[in-house]
Amino acid sequence: MTVPTTANAQATFCATLVDEWIRDGVQHAYIAPGSRSTPLALALSARPEISVEVFIDERCAAFAALGVGKATGLPAVALCTSGTAATHFSAAVTEASLSGVPLIVCTADRPPELRDVGAAQTIDQTHLYGTSVRWFHDPGIASYDAAHTWRALANHVVARTMGPVSGPVHLNLPFREPLLGEVVDMPAKRQHDASWSGFHAGRSQLSDWEIDDLAHRLAGRRGVIIAGDVGAGFDLATYTSAVSVLSSVLHWPILACPLSGVRGGSANIVSHFDGIVRSQSALGVLAPEVVLQLGKPPASKVLGQWIVASEAEVIAVHGPGTYQDAQHMTFMHIEADVANTIDRLCSVAAAVVDTREQETIWKWDSAWRNAQRAASRTIEKELSALKEISEPAIARLFAETFSVGMVSSSMPIRDVEWFSEGKENGVLFSNRGANGIDGVISTSIGIAQSLRTPIGVYLGDIAFLHDGTALVGLNNRHLNMRIVVADNDGGGIFSFLPQAAHIEKEVFENLFGTPHGVDIALMASSHSITVIEPESLDELRSAMQGSGTAIILLKTHRETNVRVHEHLHSAIAQAVDAVTNS
């Protein structure tokens, strides 16, 4: 039987894309099963250099691919068939766009003659993800006439997803039946080791005089460094070291978001800033003249409100192509490589600081250190006094236990931010680009597979149910993944909102509390996943330190959780006022 030329062209086109992507550093592909995507699926699975994972749910596949980009700074391929399958990639594409995570999104499509004629499994996939992608391209049906462009196209895809502003790229690939062909005469590779066009993730740098001007704006003043998430693909060790040195030079505290990677990297770390800025001292002896915001701001709304109330001069340093000014208070935006900017700033600032009076700044630094110690002791004391396992205690223990962790948006990331001090050299991830709670387990799978390391996952019951299909075949992936679930039978974060106090309870529960009544242990067991239900913090610690894949299930209560938070916030504020006003 003679295979039509088009089938061979499609197979060769896909093999060429994969070959070039491998040369550009792509190592992972996540495939949702389907027929129309056969040519690229076979091309990916034929190469041992690519780790291929199959998910029955497109949303899970895309979030797992997102996890690879988040952890490594290199794109993974997410592939699906045509039709509504492609729409299920949308949430992960949006998160990748807002988080600046590289991601190669490949959607198979019907050929032109099957579009707009009522053909099955056919939708308009042109610019399907709108402005959420850095680039959209549809090369049409593969033809040997265009073979000389295939390697350049593959490299173009990687170049656009990597920089200068990392993010998702959408490659829409129409395939004509028959879908099975032979790889024949791939176009030649370049005759050297470099990739096709030598792509580079462009990162702008400030000039020397701009660094000098910034140093003079900061030195000798009362200030704080807010270390936020600087995105994927950064040299974390360089960034952590630079922030620590700058803090020592300026004698400024580092208000460190758990996603920044700098918690535990300096004696000046303030992890409990949310509780501290609720104190009366926050707008007194702890009020700054200047705030240096690095990357994305933390989750704490109270921190943002404190910055506004302090009327401090806000200087934001963030990566190219991003903009961080949710409070509309930023005095100066510096769009440049964050680690490079801070590293160069250190030596210049040191020379400026040496010429200025330091007594006031040393007192300032000491006040913040005292506040952090008081907050930490208070949290430890109050959580130890509780008879039941609380959600703040879960978050605190989680951050202290795992070297690599994934934390859901909503209450888990807030509790980790507010009440934990983290683990030295620990790295935490969270999908905080769009702040959604979907895809948490799937993203964690991608992180674990790309880093080849044990991972802890902390999420609530609603987030767990959102990503329930990620449990399908999870045991067969042979990961060391401990999934900690705080099950309060509903959306716990809504209990902290004004709606909880001003809406009739039955109406509130129906619209916001959303009790689901799902037996999560039974659900996990149906996938043959081990379930552990600790009854004490010691048992919880032991479960977290275990190996293999397991669900660690903890029953909590929403109303009790609100009271615990209120008590902790009040106790921290009182303790801070006591040490800063003495």
- Vertex 76 angle, CA 71 and 81, to 5°: 140
Q: Count CB atoms within 10 A of the CB of residue 547.
A: 9
pLDDT digits (tens, 9 = 90+) for 415-426: 999 999 988 788
Cα 465 to Cα 116, 459, 468, 488, 520: the distances in Å are 36, 10, 5, 13, 8
Question: What letter would DSSP give residue 138?
Answer: -
Residues of the chain with CATH 3.40.50.970: 5-174, 389-555
Instruction: Average the pLDDT over 366-391 and give the result.
Output: 94
Share of the chain above pLDDT 70, in %: 95
Provide the pLDDT confidence category of residue 347 given band limits of 50, 70 and 90. Answer: confident
User: Is residue 1 scored above 50 in pLDDT?
Assistant: no
Residues of the chain with CATH 3.40.50.1220: 208-367
Question: What is d(CA 458, CA 417) in angstroms, rounded to the nearest whole number?
Answer: 13
Partners of 107 in beta bridges: 80, 172
User: Is residue 323 scored above 70 in pLDDT?
Assistant: yes
Backbone CA torsion sign across 294, 298, 303, 305: positive
**Residue 135 pLDDT:** 96
pLDDT digits (tens, 9 = 90+) for 28-39: 999 999 999 999
pLDDT digits (tens, 9 = 90+) for 21-68: 999 999 999 999 999 999 999 999 999 999 999 999 999 999 999 999
Question: What is d(CA 47, CA 51) in angstroms, rounded to the nearest whole number?
Answer: 8
Share of the chain above pLDDT 90, in %: 71
User: Is residue 555 scored above 80 in pLDDT?
Assistant: yes
Provide the pLDDT confidence category of residue 358 given band limits of 50, 70 and 90. Answer: low
Q: Count CB atoms within 10 A of the CB of residue 559.
A: 12
In contact, 463 and 493? CB cutoff 8 Å: no
CATH (residue range 208-367) = 3.40.50.1220
**Residue 196 pLDDT:** 40
Question: What is d(CA 550, CA 552) in angstroms, rounded to the nearest whole number?
Answer: 6
**Residue 192 pLDDT:** 45
Token pair for 14: 């896909």
**Residue 582 pLDDT:** 64
User: Is residue 533 scored above 70 in pLDDT?
Assistant: yes
Instruction: Average the pLDDT over 216-239 and give the result.
Output: 86
In contact, 222 and 313? CB cutoff 8 Å: no
pLDDT digits (tens, 9 = 90+) for 64-91: 999 999 999 999 999 999 999 999 999 9
- Give backbone dihedrals phi and psi of 296, rounded to 5 degrees, phi first: -80, 145
Question: What is d(CA 474, CA 482) in angstroms, rounded to the nearest whole number?
Answer: 12
Please report, as a single letter, which amino acid is at residue 308. V
In contact, 105 and 148? CB cutoff 8 Å: no
* 331-335: long-range contacts, CB 8 A cutoff, minimum separation 24: 332/217, 334/206, 334/210, 334/214, 335/204
Question: What is d(CA 151, CA 21) in angstroms, rounded to the nearest whole number?
Answer: 9
In contact, 224 and 255? CB cutoff 8 Å: yes
Token pair for 561: 């959780």
Question: What letter would DSSP give residue 296?
Answer: B
Which of 136, 31, 30 is closest to 75 using CA atoms? 30
Instruction: Average the pLDDT over 90-111 and give the result.
Output: 96
Question: What is d(CA 343, CA 153) in angstroms, rounded to the nearest whole number?
Answer: 36
Instruction: Average the pLDDT over 443-468 and give the result.
Output: 96
**Residue 200 pLDDT:** 39
pLDDT digits (tens, 9 = 90+) for 463-515: 999 999 999 999 999 999 999 999 999 888 888 888 888 888 888 888 888 88
Q: Work out the burial of residue 108: count CB atoms within 10 Å of its CB; fewer than 13 is exposed, 13-18 middle, 19 or more buried.
A: buried
pLDDT digits (tens, 9 = 90+) for 294-322: 999 999 999 999 999 999 999 999 887 77
564: Cβ contacts below 8 Å, ≥ 6 apart: 386, 390, 391, 392
User: Is residue 97 scored above 50 in pLDDT?
Assistant: yes
Question: What is d(CA 96, CA 233) in angstroms, rounded to the nearest whole number?
Answer: 13
Q: What is the pTM of this model?
A: 0.92
Give the right CATH number for 389-555 from 3.90.1300.10, 1.10.10.10, 3.40.50.970, 3.40.50.1820.
3.40.50.970
Question: What is d(CA 477, CA 465) in angstroms, rounded to the nearest whole number?
Answer: 20
User: Is residue 356 scored above 60 in pLDDT?
Assistant: no
Q: Count CB atoms within 10 A of the CB of residue 113.
A: 11
Q: Beta strand pairing status for 254-256 and 269-270?
A: parallel
Token pair for 229: 């998430």
Instruction: Average the pLDDT over 282-302 and give the result.
Output: 93
**Residue 357 pLDDT:** 58
| Better-predicted residue by pLDDT, 350 or 445 | 445
Token pair for 362: 């040393």
Instruction: Average the pLDDT over 415-444 and give the result.
Output: 92
Task: Give Rg (Cα) of the chain.
Answer: 26
372: Cβ contacts below 8 Å, ≥ 6 apart: 253, 269, 270, 271, 272, 276
pLDDT digits (tens, 9 = 90+) for 181-215: 999 989 988 654 444 444 434 446 788 888 999 99
Average pLDDT score, the chain: 91
User: Is residue 563 scored above 60 in pLDDT?
Assistant: yes
User: Is residue 445 scored above 60 in pLDDT?
Assistant: yes
- Give backbone dihedrals phi and psi of 216, rounded to 5 degrees, phi first: -70, -25
Question: What is d(CA 30, CA 49) in angstroms, rounded to the nearest whole number?
Answer: 14
The structural architecture, per CATH, of the domain 5-174 is 3-Layer(aba) Sandwich (3.40)
Question: What letter would DSSP give residue 487?
Answer: E
**Residue 198 pLDDT:** 40
Token pair for 554: 């903890």
Question: What is d(CA 23, CA 487) in angstroms, rounded to the nearest whole number?
Answer: 45
